[in-house]
Structure 1
């Protein structure tokens, strides 16, 4: 790896992690197209940390508010545990059916959202523990470069998610705001996030598609998608850091680690801001068409290379 590759892959990771076009696919496709070597575990850790930093900084106020609401929810649950029946615990914790005024209404929204993020993260985390290593063996760059079938499969996945996003734009009226996200929404969107293990699906693509299909406003679907992704990205990053700590990092890789992380953080932050603003007035069709063009390119090159 050289400095140019580190900067480019960092920028690509930060951008494609949040725009619904699949970061994992792009990080496989670009080295595959240009026949670059696998950047390695240390660089993968840097990219995870960079996108996590972007999420934490951009939504800093949201995280503080949600963390505070979550703590208050747990304390409220403990205080009322002995007085309520077991099937009321989650309702109490999320703040439902409490007497409301302007202050408690905002607190209740944050409490629910904090719980929905935790609950919605469970399907993706479970799928990652069970299936991530097997999927990586099939699709990760060193193997994929010599596996025409894997690259064609990735191209098909890219196209199919594009089709799903295209349909989701048209089957529901996108009128529900972020404060109207329900437990059912969180579970279904969380299940969609689990599909992001397959390169080409896209974590943001799957969750935004699910949100749109459930009738969320475009910006609300994207915002919930980003908030929901943080625990999964943090978990994947922690696992990668643990693996790296056992393996160690060569001094020569430190510069690429820092450059990749910084590039991913900057481009990630900018692309979060861009997408939220873009979706206030535009549909996701631009990303659908991009996915279809990318799928055609991947399949065409894979077939040509044999």
Structure 2
């Protein structure tokens, strides 16, 4: 079903109500921080259930839930980066690791901010051509292949303590791919970190910490856009409910991802992404799902 618009914003989630948004909040929270694309699932699940597309505004606003989950799960790291870098700056200790890493994160975030601003009119437009199931299916398959290559060619031995500015910039550039529906921020940054030979669990930790500014910017920007569009009280209430559910789900997703990476590898996600991409392309071609 086609989504709805509020002053040019894709706000189909309002018509879904609390129960359906709660279900999608669980899906969004889990898939947002796993390398399997939350955007793909936000298109697939409603389509399979015959629900209205919740819209790109819902997916973007749910970044706030991911932000809350990442900060709470990695609070020790986040606290060290924030307060450690501020203390180092105050005493002019610019060689301090926390200060250097915080600066690297800032530099590594610039590419996706620039790309996000340039692509914003297309990404958040009603019935955006980039949100078609064909685009998402192709993105899933391409990302599965890249993640598989990372598994084949990486030598996972490095830890975050050995990170450099070059590592941060490589992962920051990889993060741009997350703007394309179906790629996944977690998937693109995790792949970039694996190509830099980080241990799998350290690669995930690196990608989450580096992605904090971009996640925050995307979520808070969308909240501001909804505010400017005069989203009514019911819309805010439904969105808030989805955010709470998604935050809890996202926290659980981080825990699950790190356990999988510690004990296995990224191959389960490679297979899942590949099969999902093929399914989407076949479903659209045969008319099972509307593009």
Task: Classify the TM-score, shorter chain.
Answer: 0.7 to 0.9
Q: For 1:180-191, what aligned pairs fall within 5 Å after superposition?
A: 180-191=162-173
Number of the residue aligned with 2:215 = 233
Could you say what secondary structure the match of 1:2 adopts? helix
Greater percentage in helix:
1
Number of the residue aligned with 2:5 = none
Distance 2:38 2:59 in 1: 12
Q: How many residues align?
A: 273
Q: For 1:1-306, what aligned pairs fall within 5 Å after superposition?
A: 1-39=16-54, 43-44=58-59, 46-77=61-92, 93=94, 95=95, 108-137=96-125, 142-143=127-128, 150-305=132-287
Q: Which deviates further from its counterpart, 30-39 or 48-57? A: 30-39
Distance 2:128 2:123 in 1: 11
Q: Which deviates further from its counterpart, 191-200 or 268-277? A: 268-277
What TM-score do the two structures reach when normalised by structure 2? 0.87
1:142-179 CA distance string (max 9 Å, x none): 4569x9xx322221110010010011011021000011
Distance 1:202 1:43 in 2: 16
Distance 1:76 1:16 in 2: 41
Larger-gyration structure (1/2): 1
Q: Mark the runs of 5 or more structure 2 residues left unpaired by the alignment.
A: 1-15
Distance 1:242 1:21 in 2: 27
Distance 2:238 2:279 in 1: 29
Aligned Cα root-mean-square deviation (Å):
2.1
Q: Mark the runs of 5 or more structure 1 residues left unpaired by the alignment.
A: 78-91, 96-107
User: Does the 8 A contact of 2:134 with 2:284 survive in 1?
Assistant: yes
The 1:144–1:178 alpha-carbon spacing in structure 2 relative to 1, beyond 3 Å, is: same
1:159-204 CA distance string (max 9 Å, x none): 0100100110110210000111110010010000011000111101
In the TM superposition, structure 1's runs of 4+ consecutive aligned residues that sit over 6 Å from their partners are: none
The 1:223–1:9 alpha-carbon spacing in structure 2 relative to 1, beyond 3 Å, is: same
User: Does the 8 A contact of 1:18 with 1:271 survive in 2?
Assistant: yes
1:250-297 CA distance string (max 9 Å, x none): 232244222201111001001111111221121100000000111111
Deviation at 1:42, TM superposition (A): 6.6
1:227-267 CA distance string (max 9 Å, x none): 11111111011211211111122232244222201111001
What TM-score do the two structures reach when normalised by structure 1? 0.83
Quick one: higher RCO (CA 8 Å, sep 6+), 1 or 2?
1
Deviation at 1:41, TM superposition (A): 7.1
Distance 1:165 1:44 in 2: 23
